Structure 1
Amino acid sequence: MADAGMLKQINLQKIRNAFLAGEPFSKTELAEKTGLSFPTVGKIVDEMVRTRQLQIVGTRNSSGGRCSRIYQYNADFRNAIAMILEGQNLDWFILDSLGMTKNQGRIEIDGDLLGTLTGLLLQARRQEPSLCCFCLGIAANTNGETVQQSFEYPQLKGMNLLKELECASGLKGSLGNDMWISAEGCWQRCRMNDHTTLISFYLGSCGFGSSFVVGGKTIKGAHQVAGEIELLPWIREAGLNANQWPDTLPETILRCILTYAIITDPDFIQLYTHPFFVDHFDEIQAQLNACFAGVQPPALLLSDDFRADYEIGLSCRAMRLMNPQEVSA
């Protein structure tokens, strides 16, 4: 049985979720939408107004003759900055409390990578007083805090990058591998259910990558290296990347895709659009059909949405960080 504190949080989340769609409500309308009692709604809404989560945006006539106040979520209650580090480019965008992009830009990294990241966070804090957190996606193997391996950024190997950035900026943060984040974003974009499994493969400037998602969460493994195909010596030695690919499908790449498929038996296998995958899509499909002879093979998808999925995944992480756990009276 939930105690009073837990029940308060459950009720608060119901009210917050109603407002996060961006629609304004009176207390009466909110009680009808959430199924909570009017006194419960009134107490929580008053607290949210005091803490600036909600703002009064007008009044509305009620059947009783009195005007009801109309409340709306304060989009600038909290802000977050999401960052994508790939190659020598650092892309960033500022999100408001409703998940809408307020501002965005790109920085070309010249020299001090850590200094560039820190400088961007400090500048964002000065320009956005409500900034409370950051999310960083990076083309490297991480455990959520430390960069364990990076062929693109060897200077970061072994560094607790999350701690460095949190200490330098004073912001709460989240750090993740680009494939983890984009696959989680794909799961959200496609509105997959909690039992859906998805494998994604991507060929980018930093090489060949993959990710495995169940119920919207990435499977990272005991040592946080699940899906890091580039750690396989024969894959790394092939030097396959977004700017260089052979005319024929390498046996090593095909075997990786088929092995993943047979071991995990997913609902979907997604190949992010690249000339290499486009040219060999039918061949990969035929090999999958052969492996799953007699049963329905995983649905093979070809998607142009890697960047969109990446940004959706980062935005979801940012929204979780911005979402306060409690409202102080």
Structure 2
Amino acid sequence: MPKEMKKVILQGIRKTLLADGSTTKVELSYKLGISFPTVSKLVAQMEKKGELMSVGLDDSSGGRRARRYAYNPDYQLIAILFLEQTETQYMIYNVSGEVKERGSCSGFLQDGIEALTDQIESLIDRHPGIRSLAFGVPGSVNNGRIIYIPGYEKFHYFDLKSAIEARFGLPVVVENDMNAAVLGYYKKMEFRNDESLIYLYFGQNGPGAGILVNGNVVRGSTSFSGEVSFVPLYDNRSFQEAIINAEGTVTVMREGIGADAVSRLVAAFTAILNPNAVIFVRDEVNTELLKSIELRSASYIAKEHLPKLIVSDWKEDYLNGLKRLGLDLMIRTNDD
């Protein structure tokens, strides 16, 4: 069997088992459109490795009872790490979402790559089943390379994916924090595939946005999409300059100019993308501010075209997005 074909079939088997909970070889053959002998061979290989496990026999319908299989949730563990200003938070979980360990350690952005690799090595020593790593970064990422991260210029163009894969020989995915958050919110809410969303975060190191159009995260031609700090909303001020004062404090909650800047940005997103909703971070807004933004936005663009303005838990959505990315990476790898 060609290697690429085998890879596609294995991915299909994993997706089906994780979505359905359990299945038989006949059901797999039917759902995947793959011959029964091919499915049987691959299921036998996966069971021998411990990736699948038998969970009993189906009731007889007059013939031989079919054996039912489920994915072994502890066959592979996934480590996700959020690289933040002063610390790196991490979580180890299995494919069923069961958390095996969570905690924090010294920050990669302050202490450098060696501190991060030492921590990963410690995690793998405690959990040898870790087979993939997912990183969230507060900056723009292009194919695993950090290309822009405000306040940490020494990491501009640092290829985090290649560095970690070379060190540990494990598959790695690296994603911008806002892209992960909008993906996590989308998966949590189980939207239709044609949903379009903007996830807006003011932040202390500069604002950012996660953009999802028709169910797909938009990264742009150079993976720079969502860097809304640069959007020129006034003659002499960008969006960041309008919402952050000279001391670096976000002023949206206290000063009229900040709320107006957000309203202009909402109007711009409406005219360009016409999203279903703009999601705000729960800790950064209140009901009064959202109402003000809604009214101001309607002065720039017709109200019927404006998106819903909603709030959500950014940390939870960020975590959900990284978990989804880690799971997708797991499904695609370990196909030998």
- Inter-partner Cα distance in structure 2 for 1:130 and 1:205: 37
Consecutive unaligned residues in structure 1, runs of 5 or more: none
Aligned pair 1:100/2:91, yes or no?
Answer: no
Q: What is residue 270 of structure 2 aligned with on the other side?
A: 261
Structure 1 residues 26 and 166 mapped into 2: Cα distance closer, same or farther (>3 Å)? closer
Q: What is residue 234 of structure 1 aligned with on the other side?
A: 238
8 Å contact from structure 2 (residues 193, 214) kept in 1: yes
Q: What is residue 279 of structure 2 aligned with on the other side?
A: 270
Which amino acid letter does the alignment assign opposite residue 132 of structure 1?
Answer: R
Question: How far does the alpha carbon of each residue in 1:41-76 deviate from its partner, in whole angstroms, 9 at most, with x for none?
Answer: 433321221232202345566456877544321112
- Inter-partner Cα distance in structure 2 for 1:155 and 1:12: 40
- Inter-partner Cα distance in structure 1 for 2:66 and 2:140: 53
Q: What is residue 186 of structure 1 aligned with on the other side?
A: 185
Identity across the alignment (%): 25
Structure 1 residues 91 and 52 mapped into 2: Cα distance closer, same or farther (>3 Å)? same
Q: Which of 90, 107, 110 is the matching residue for 1:109? A: 107
TM-score by length of 2: 0.82
| More deviation, 23-32/220-229 | 23-32
Matched residue of 2:318: which SS? helix
Question: How far does the alpha carbon of each residue in 1:75-95 deviate from its partner, in whole angstroms, 9 at most, with x for none?
Answer: 122222111122212111112
Consecutive unaligned residues in structure 2, runs of 5 or more: 232-236
Which amino acid letter does the alignment assign opposite residue 95 of structure 1?
Answer: Y
Q: What is residue 85 of structure 2 aligned with on the other side?
A: 87
Structure 1 residues 286 and 10 mapped into 2: Cα distance closer, same or farther (>3 Å)? same
Mapping 1:275-294, distance limit 5 Å: 275-276=284-285, 278-293=287-302
Structure 1 residues 38 and 218 mapped into 2: Cα distance closer, same or farther (>3 Å)? closer
Q: What is residue 255 of structure 2 aligned with on the other side?
A: 248
Query: Post-superposition shift, 1:156?
Result: 1.4
8 Å contact from structure 1 (residues 137, 176) kept in 2: yes
8 Å contact from structure 1 (residues 269, 301) kept in 2: yes
Q: Which of 300, 317, 326 is the matching residue for 2:325? A: 317
8 Å contact from structure 2 (residues 15, 331) kept in 1: no
Q: Which of 44, 56, 61 is the matching residue for 2:54? A: 56
Which amino acid letter does the alignment assign opposite residue 132 of structure 2?
Answer: C
- Inter-partner Cα distance in structure 2 for 1:242 and 1:216: 34
TM-score by length of 1: 0.84
8 Å contact from structure 1 (residues 209, 228) kept in 2: yes
Matched residue of 2:158: which SS? coil
Structure 1 residues 22 and 121 mapped into 2: Cα distance closer, same or farther (>3 Å)? farther
| More deviation, 31-40/146-155 | 31-40
